[in-house]
Structure 1
Amino acid sequence: MTHDLVLTGGRVIDPDSGLDRVTDLAFADGCVAAIGDGLDGADMRDVSGALVVPGLIDLHTHVYWGGTSLSVEADDYARRCAATTLVDTGSAGPGNFPGFRAHVMAPAEVRILSFLHISFAGIYAFSPTVMVGESLDMRLMASKDVVAVARDNPDTVVGIKVRVGRNTSGPNGIAPLDLALEAADRCGLPVMAHIDLAPPTYAEVCEKLRPGDVLTHCFRPFPNGPVDAAGAVHDAALRARDRGVLFDIGHGMGAFSWESARAAMAAGFMPDTISSDVHVLCIDGPAWDLLRTMTKLMALGMSLEQVIAAATLTPARAMRRDDLGRLAVGGVGEASVIAVEDGPVELEDVLGETVAYDRSLRARGMVIGGRFVEAAGQRP
């Protein structure tokens, strides 16, 4: 049988099935058609020496380009890191989601999903010159509107986003999180909670979250990081993980510290999901992209297989999207082709500390809708 596209010679890794070997992956009619040796296709792509994995999912991005000041262009970013699904986390709220869907999601080559912001206008004032936390004004907390829009857009809205902390909710403290949790409960969706400086504390936010909710910026710097002065992970975080709360990297410009990460990892506290929190102030460092963030977690001791699962299968499950994050015959016709390149790299955190590492993950291309898309525009 001749397929539309065959990726041949690559190391195919699928965390869901446990497949990990050099073999071929074929696509036809926009779906995965076959996995095995000696497959034939109209478009034969030799990817020897590369990894072929389920379509990478960046669970925390900002891609409402042209609609919000913090967002980057989705397709350009996706080609840079071979991500086939970008999850925008709160750039849009219920007041401007229709524009996001019509003008960014619909024409994009890459899949874009949304954690819809509890704030009516989303994250509306985020730039080098203007920085206003949207949760500072409780009048913007649009509970009824966010439930209505989420219910009307179940194909694209996968959760509710909220930002709390000194910089984002100020004197309102944890109250916006309470409203987001109530709204999410109404529409049966998870919450993704941002945390910055206290108040509220890391522990207070952890105590509020339900099974399936996501705490992003989980390795943020001191103060208000994941560990205490003795290097022990906060009890509230351990309790949250035990009841099914997910911990996400969400690197960004201010939320990944080598010090916090080393302490948490030494205590056996690994992230569940790896994401970039890419936006205009971190796409050219310190976050760069999803693959650079995955490389940092490898430098901390996570295995290649673990970082792949944390950017494919686990984020898919976090969004309750069983069709994503896996390679299965008859399933969605997506894959990411990446390589582990040997050579020194300097990996920076948000505080300026750099760690030298001897390899890095780089994009080679991706399959979207059963069609191969070349990588482009990669970081230095």
Structure 2
Amino acid sequence: MAHELILDGARVIDPSAGIDRVTRVAFAGGRVAALGEGIDTTGCPDVRDLRGLIVVPGLIDLHTHVYWGGTSLGIDAAQFARDSGVTTAVDTGSAGPGNFLGFRKHVIEPSPVRILAYLHVSFAGIFAFSKSIMVGESEEIRLMAPAEAAAVAEANRDVVVGIKVRVGLHASGRSGLQPFEAALQVAEEVGMPMMVHIDHPPPSYEEVVERLRPGDVLTHAFRPFPNAPLSGQGRVREAVVAARRRGVLFDIGHGKGSFAFKTARAMLANGFPPDTISSDIHTLCIDGPVFDQTTTLSKFLCLGMSLPDVIAATTVNAATALRRPELGSLRPGSVGDATILRLDEGRFDYVDTTGEHLAGDRRLTSAGVVVGGRWWHPA
């Protein structure tokens, strides 16, 4: 099959294959066709000279809210993807079993970029999240719909990757861990992982991570006090270390109030990097402090993580969490998605959810997107 698109001259970083060098990537039939310096460009209708740029597997943002028009927190997935270089946006609980079919028909299916979803165990998902109305959906036990959630998850396995639940003072209030137990029953029934949100106690960070299973994802994992993963002495809590040992995954989920530089510095100093880096983008944080996925990645670059490790946390690691090995890789035969990044050096201001500013010396931005083997960005 003739190559339909070739990316030439860029630094290619693919942690899934241990690749970090200047080389070529070719696409055909909607997939990665070949990778290497010997790729012949003759006859290819679209050869892109990307010298000075970086090509990585299509970025996966493991925590987004993209049910635009169906929920008050949803943002436009296509515009976000163009701004962030994201080719797979994973919506985390915007929709529950009561409104998922609308999300699928009106947002997921028409989307030019891939949208996967963690289905909320709450019947209507996250239905009251705005500047003026803020109601924790997990506080109302009558909204927990395990039977309906299991049926919808089973019927939509092509796009539903797991079960979402939010617990904490703001999300579950007096209901505590009861919503967690409902979500766990659904996850076990359908054989899917959970993504669990945690905010202020109760419950405590330890109470949540002690109940998580291998492959489950704790999001907002580097949140500030209270309910930070650290002791007052700056050490990672033993329950957190034990959870990682048994295969629990720790996701950033930056969002409006769930990421602190102070926590991140201490976690990295303790040798505890995140498994996945995600934005938790929604209407209340897209204008700051999150802005987009590349800004979130840049923060970790400036905190001391290596570029290949940062890329792994939004490509192959995220694909592993999703149990979708065809994503997050540039190996021949993989899905034909790629992100082109620009890495600038200078002085850049970053801010976390507590208001702390970080003067960073590097910044990643999206310079192009390949979706399904075709150049998609700019419009």
Whether TM exceeds 0.5 here: the answer is: yes
For residues 206 and 375 of structure 1, do their structure 2 counterparts lie closer, same or farther at Cα, with a shift above 3 Å needed? farther
Aligned residue identity for 1:15: P
How far off its partner does 1:375 sit?
4.4
Normalised to the residue count of structure 2, the TM-score between the two structures is 0.98
Report the secondary structure of 2:369's partner residue: strand
Superposition map of 1:78-89 within 5 A: 78-89=81-92
Mapped contact 1:5–1:42 kept (Cα < 8 A): yes
Identity value in percent: 57
Mapped contact 1:165–1:198 kept (Cα < 8 A): yes
Mapped contact 1:158–1:319 kept (Cα < 8 A): yes
Mapped contact 1:6–1:24 kept (Cα < 8 A): yes
Mapped contact 1:24–1:39 kept (Cα < 8 A): no
Mapped contact 2:98–2:123 kept (Cα < 8 A): yes
Report the secondary structure of 2:226's partner residue: coil
2:11: which partner in 1?
Answer: 11
Report the secondary structure of 1:208's partner residue: coil
Superposition map of 1:40-189 within 5 A: 40=41, 41-189=44-192
Mapped contact 1:80–1:375 kept (Cα < 8 A): no
Report the secondary structure of 1:253's partner residue: coil
Report the secondary structure of 2:66's partner residue: coil
1:327 matches 2:317: no
Superposition map of 1:178-257 within 5 A: 178-257=181-260
For residues 173 and 70 of structure 1, do their structure 2 counterparts lie closer, same or farther at Cα, with a shift above 3 Å needed? same
How far off its partner does 1:331 sit?
2.0
How far off its partner does 1:39 sit?
3.0
Mapped contact 1:60–1:89 kept (Cα < 8 A): yes
1:20 matches 2:23: no
Report the secondary structure of 1:42's partner residue: coil
Mapped contact 1:81–1:375 kept (Cα < 8 A): no
2:297: which partner in 1?
Answer: 294
Structure 2 distance, partners of 1:19, 1:259, is 32
Mapped contact 1:6–1:39 kept (Cα < 8 A): no
How far off its partner does 1:374 sit?
1.6
2:34: which partner in 1?
Answer: 34
- Equivalent of 1:273, from 276, 284, 300? 276
- Structure 2 unmatched ranges of 5 or more: none
Report the secondary structure of 1:144's partner residue: helix
Aligned residue identity for 1:148: A
Mapped contact 2:301–2:362 kept (Cα < 8 A): no
Structure 2 distance, partners of 1:34, 1:263, is 41
1:371 matches 2:371: no
Residues matched between the structures, number: 376
Mapped contact 2:340–2:366 kept (Cα < 8 A): yes
Structure 1 distance, partners of 2:48, 2:212, is 45
Normalised to the residue count of structure 1, the TM-score between the two structures is 0.97
Structure 2 distance, partners of 1:322, 1:188, is 17
Aligned residue identity for 2:257: G
Structure 2 distance, partners of 1:373, 1:188, is 35
